[in-house]
Structure 1
Amino acid sequence: MKLKTFLPLVTYPDAASETSIANAVAASRLLGAELNALALEVEIPQVSNALSRALLDVGEMIKDAHKLSAHRAGELLVDVKAKAAAASIATQTAVLRSAPALLGEAAGERARYFDLALLGLEPENAGTRMVAEGVIFGSGKPSLLLPVAAKLGKLDRIAIAWDGSRVAARAVADARLLLERASSVSIVTVTDEKPLKDKDSGEKLAESLRDAGLKAKFDTIRAESGPIAATLQRYAAEHADLLVMGGYGHSRLRDFVLGGATEGVLSDLKLPILLSH
């Protein structure tokens, strides 16, 4: 069965970048996957207020926002098709309309029908962060976070952030297809970040992966006084092309309360990260 990737694209107030599309196409090509792109158009409800109509002409502003969002959606999907055709990968495109505050939730629900979400995180585009959180915590599927600072390269050297937890185990399971293609796997545990129930769990995971035919090794590092996300990404940048980690967090009235490492990578993504909740 062919792998299907999912690419949600924001259109308003800022549109997703060309680099996010290029990286998603590159990831789909590396995985031999069909790329399914979804343009997220905003649907802003009309405001019935005499003062707002008299002073601001809110109705016209809403119409302009709809037109701009729809125009950008069309441009983004044309770009997806062109880049996918150039890379010789199959692609499907669609449009989803939703209220701005619900775009992340809507994208998360749609992501449930695909194998892997591809999320371009753009520091200057807050919409990409909102949609990423909605997909990570609402889809039940793994997400590949892609920074826009550089074009995606290979994904054959993989680092795994391991603490023996359920979400870490889930991330390893979700990354199985990538792990099977990896030339090397580095498992890393941060020893001074929180108490570890089983201090040998990293070596146990490495042994399990070696038994499955993978080239896996286990390392420990210290965070000391630095942010855990920075420590993990620094290690991964030296040893891997991709970091696999569990995503900690939960939703509170569409506000996401995140774990330290999860917040850190979403705020300052340095390299591709496969994140599973």
Structure 2
Amino acid sequence: MRRQALVPFVTYPEAVTDAVTINAVAMAAKLDADLHALAVNVDIPPVSNALSRFLLNTPELIRQAEIKSGKRGMEMLTAVAKQAKQFDMDVTTKTLVAAPALLGDVAAKQARYFDFALVGWEANNATSQMTAEAVIFGSGRPTILLPELSTIGALDHIAIAWDGSRVAARAVADSRLLLERATRISVLTVVDEKPLDEGEMGERLAEGLRKRGLPAEAVAIRTADCPIGVTLQDHAIESGAALLVMGGYGHSRIRDFVLGGATEGILNDLRLPVLLSH
């Protein structure tokens, strides 16, 4: 059975660069997945305020923003199709429009129909972070974040961020197909960041994976006064891991969405591809 992966491109207010298309196609190839590219362009409701119409020329500003968004969406879809030819990969493309406040929600809902969502991440690009948050917490599907400056290599060494939680267990289950193909699995447990429910939980997971025939080892690490998201990524990179698997923590509080410390650290400073499940 061929796996199916979606890469959503939200094009407003700031679309990602073509580096995301390169990484998305490369990751889909590593997953042996068919790739589906989605452009989510903006459809801004008309403004009825007379002052906005006549003094600020808001209708024209809206028209220009929508044209720019649509043009960039087409460019992204074309770039994906062109890049995919190098891998002899089939790509399907689709375009949807949504109001500014619903762009991320549309991407998340579309991702529910696929095995993986591939989301590009770029430093100082608020749209890419918004898209990542929406898909991670709204799709119900494993989401692989792809940093713009990272080259997608062989997924032979995978690191797992493990704290024994429900979301961490969900991430391990969601990454099973990738873990079964790895030649090395490192189970990373941060032992000085928060109270853990039981001792040696990293070794317990590693042992369970080994009983399933997977080459897993437990690694206890310390934060060393660094944010936990940085600690996990740095250890994964230093050990040569090509992908970090972890649970995505987040919950609603009044009108704000509150991220867990590790998840926030990942979304603020992504250093390698990370598979997040919520």
TM bracket (short chain): over 0.9
Which residue in the other structure is 2:260 paired with?
259
Which residue in the other structure is 1:183 paired with?
183
- 1:111-122 alignment runs, 5 A limit: 111-122=111-122
> Deviations for 1:216-237, whole angstroms, at most 9, x for unmatched residues?
1001011142211111111100
Closer/same/farther in 2, CA of residues 122 and 271 from structure 1, 3 Å limit: same
2:223 maps to 1:223:
yes
2:240 maps to 1:276:
no
- Judge which range, 217-226 or 17-26, deviates more: 217-226
- 1:1-277 alignment runs, 5 A limit: 1-239=1-239, 240-252=241-253, 255-277=256-278
**SS of aligned partner of 2:94:** strand
Whether the 8 Å CA contact 1:38–1:93 is kept in 2: the answer is yes
> Deviations for 1:175-217, whole angstroms, at most 9, x for unmatched residues?
1011011010000111111111111221111111111111110
Shift of 1:165: 0.7
> Deviations for 1:231-272, whole angstroms, at most 9, x for unmatched residues?
111110012111111110024577421000000000000011
Structure 1 gaps of 5+ residues are none
Whether the 8 Å CA contact 2:150–2:271 is kept in 1: the answer is no
Q: Aligned AA for 2:127?
A: G
Q: Which runs of 4+ in 1 moved over 6 A?
A: none
Paired with 1:20 and 1:199, the residues of 2 have a C-alpha distance of 40
> Deviations for 1:17-53, whole angstroms, at most 9, x for unmatched residues?
1111100000011111000110010010000111111
**SS of aligned partner of 1:28:** helix
Supply the RMSD in Å over aligned alpha carbons.
Answer: 1.2
Whether the 8 Å CA contact 1:120–1:147 is kept in 2: the answer is yes
Q: Aligned AA for 2:265?
A: G
**SS of aligned partner of 1:158:** strand
Closer/same/farther in 2, CA of residues 21 and 253 from structure 1, 3 Å limit: farther
- Judge which range, 145-154 or 108-117, deviates more: 145-154
Whether the 8 Å CA contact 2:14–2:127 is kept in 1: the answer is yes
Q: Aligned AA for 1:35?
A: L
Q: Aligned AA for 1:248?
A: Y
Whether the 8 Å CA contact 2:159–2:243 is kept in 1: the answer is yes
Structure 2 gaps of 5+ residues are none
Q: Aligned AA for 1:234?
A: D
> Deviations for 1:121-167, whole angstroms, at most 9, x for unmatched residues?
11132111111100000000101011101321222101111111111
Paired with 2:150 and 2:200, the residues of 1 have a C-alpha distance of 36
Paired with 1:74 and 1:114, the residues of 2 have a C-alpha distance of 22
Whether the 8 Å CA contact 1:22–1:151 is kept in 2: the answer is no
Whether the 8 Å CA contact 1:21–1:80 is kept in 2: the answer is yes
> Deviations for 1:61-97, whole angstroms, at most 9, x for unmatched residues?
1111111111111111111111112211111110111
Q: Aligned AA for 2:6?
A: F
Shift of 1:13: 2.4
State the percentage of identical aligned residues: 57
**SS of aligned partner of 1:9:** strand
- Judge which range, 131-140 or 197-206, deviates more: 197-206
Whether the 8 Å CA contact 1:189–1:202 is kept in 2: the answer is yes
